[in-house]
Amino acid sequence: MTNQELPNNFLWGGAVAAHQVEGAYEEVGKGLSVADVMTSAGNRSERTITTGIDPSYFYPNHEAVDFYHHYPEDVKLFAEMGFKCFRTSIAWSRIFPQGDEEEPNEDGLKFYDRLFAECLKYNIEPVVTLSHFEMPYHLVTEYGGFRNRKVITFFTRFAETVFKRYRNQVKYWLTFNEINNQVNYDREFTLFTNSGIKIHNGENPEAVMYQAGHYETVASALAVQIAHQINPDFQVGAMIAMTPVYPASNKPQDILKAQRAMQTRYWLSDVQVLGSYPQWLVNYQKAKKFNLDITEEDLAILKKGTVDYLGLSYYMSFTTAASDKEDEFYSYNEATDLVKNNYVPKSDWGWQIDPEGLRYSLNWLNDRYHVPLFIVENGIGAIDHLTKDHQVHDQYRIDYLRSHIKQMKLSILKDGIPVMGYTPWSAIDIVSASTGQLSKRYGFIYVDRNDDGSGSLQRFKKDSFAWYQRVIESNGADLNYEGD
Ligand code: BG6
């Protein structure tokens, strides 16, 4: 590699999650997952989480884009784009339908045998997330999700099962997707999708978040150790939503507030990568009297189970400002403490578009953690229009990805940051996680399916398909391809 080129083994690819593409939500023994009880919402509204399935609602993940049946056609298209890797997740409830069984569902395992074989046929390396917002729903109703220590065992049983089964097919693993989303504990969506938790009356959601996050870091650390015993070549990563929080001004109080915001957003990766709790957080949890179940044995597990690399999604940046009522900790609550950044534009869904923030983030993470970084999500949700002759002119997506890849390249080539790969969100159109919409499209491949579930499910290449194909073919050197 010269200082102008990316490494030859750079992992270009694309990403999805099982529940957002597969559909087939009850096929061959799959159990309900948390994604299966979430309805569709509008542009800026949250999805409703129902108690079980209520037939008066539409649940977009039940069929999604039917990747379960279309995967040979879709993987072929990924290969045509030149993917070196494909990030997806294993739907936990396809393998353990209820989550607490002793034995896995063989038919569920067989699906991933076929999917990974299909990828490897084209030399596409699977990158697999164990838990991507799709915990078995039974673990929510019977155990209260990850607020219950028992769920650690159910998770590690699932992890061990798939590590053993796919030991020769999958090398790159991620434990919990965007584990730090739930730091925004006042948002029902985050605690439910990360941890299968609904807050009960009288509960302190912040304390519940710290407890669930603790159990998940223990589960993650155990999974790392199990993985390395099964196959020492496995690379197991943590996965965070990397959204840097800037200070709104150079006022010292704003700087302190932003620093605490960053410490709060990234406490989970501190534990997963560094193997121990930051002291400020130990003091904070004590001062707030959260009364957490954190044992000496847990702390020893965390030390032994640090991850091999850090996966991150990057979509946007945040900005915060101190108020005149700060406590001595400058406690950060993401639901109330963000302010507008006048220097960056926003997407149609109000997400701040900030490519330089990606370079800032990669530098920040590298300074803090000193482990390889893998950008496993980056992209823009937008309304696409399918023309009569089945084209999608998604120049806005090309512009977004190009500007972010440029910053990634600067980080690697100028700043010397070890970035393993880049898998934009998303390889193909998906059901949006936060809104349940199909119309919030991310893919290089358009799927003819609408928010109400209508549509032929036919696949069409967008303009970004050929553009990204050229990016991969040139190993990131040509970002300006405009078509033949
Ligand atoms: C991340 C998730 O939060 O961002 C994905 O890991 C999600 O599952 C993606 O789809 C984009 O968010 P959204 O809410 O627009 O789908």
Q: Which of 434, 435, 437 should be mutated for ligand 1, with most atoms under 8 A from CB?
A: 434
Among 5, 30, 187, 166, residue whose Cα is nearest residue 88: 166
Tens of pLDDT, residue by residue over 408-445, are: 999 999 999 999 999 999 999 999 999 999 999 999 99
| Nearest Cα to Cα of residue 92 among 199, 232, 195, 178 | 195
Measured CA angle at 447 (ends 64, 60), to 5 deg: 20
- Residue 7 token pair: 């490494």
Tokens linked to 2 = 């010269």
End-to-end CA distance of the chain: 29
The reply to whether ligand 1 has any atom less than 6 angstroms from the CB of 137 is no
Cβ distance 160 to 227 under 8 Å?
no
Domains belonging to the chain, first-starting first, are 11-473 (3.20.20.80)
**Residue whose CA is at the smallest distance from ligand 1 atom 5:** 433
Q: Is 377 near ligand 1, meaning CB less than 6 Å away? A: yes
pLDDT, tens digit, 9 for 90 and up, residues 373-422: 999 999 999 999 999 999 999 999 999 999 999 999 999 999 999 999 99
Structure tokens at 123: 């030399």
DSSP three-state, residue 376: strand
Residues annotated as catalytic (active site), given as ranges: 178, 377
- Ligand 1 atom at minimum distance from 133 CA: 8
Q: How confident is the model at residue 2 (pLDDT cuts 50, 70, 90)?
A: low
What confidence category does residue 1 fall into, taking pLDDT thresholds of 50, 70 and 90?
A: low
Residue owning tokens 């925004």: 184
- Mutation pick for ligand 1 pocket among 384, 425, 437, 442 (CB with most ligand atoms within 8 Å): 425
Q: What residue type is assigned to position 425 of the chain?
A: W
Q: From the CB of 269, is ligand 1 less than 6 Å away? A: no
**pLDDT per residue over 46-105, tens digit each?**
799 999 999 999 999 999 999 999 999 999 999 999 999 999 999 999 999 999 999 999
**Strand boundaries in 207-293, DSSP class E:** 235-241, 245-247
The DSSP secondary structure of 329-360, one letter per residue, reads T----TTTSB---TTS-B-TTS-B--HHHHHH
Task: Compute the distance from residue 410 Cα to the ligand 1 centre, in Å.
Answer: 25
For the chain, the residue count is 484
177 CB within 6 A, ligand 1 = yes
440 Cβ below 6 A of ligand 1: yes
Ligand 1 mean position, distance from CA 125 (Å): 22
Residue 56 burial (CB count, 10 A):
7
Angle, CA 54 vertex, CA 52 and CA 55 arms, to 5°: 140
Q: Hey, CA dihedral for 242, 243, 245, 246, is it positive or negative? A: positive
Which of 178, 428, 441 for a ligand 1 pocket mutation test, highest count of atoms within 8 Å of Cβ?
178
Which of 429, 339, 331, 311 shows the shortest CA–CA distance to 380?
Answer: 429
Q: From atom 10 of ligand 1, which residue's Cα is the shortest distance away?
A: 433
Q: Is it the case that residue 348 has pLDDT exceeding 90?
A: no
Nearest atom in ligand 1 to 349's CA: 15
- Give the span between the Cα atoms of 303 and 275, in whole angstroms: 4
φ, ψ at 227 (rounded to 5°): -60, -45
Q: Which ranges constitute the DSSP H helices of 182-251?
A: 188-195, 205-230
Ligand 1 pocket residue status of 445, Cβ below 6 Å: no
Q: Determine the average pLDDT of the residues in 33-48.
A: 88
Q: Work out the number of other CB atoms within 10 angstroms of the CB of residue 40.
A: 22
Kindly indicate the confidence band of residue 350, based on its pLDDT and cuts at 50, 70 and 90. confident
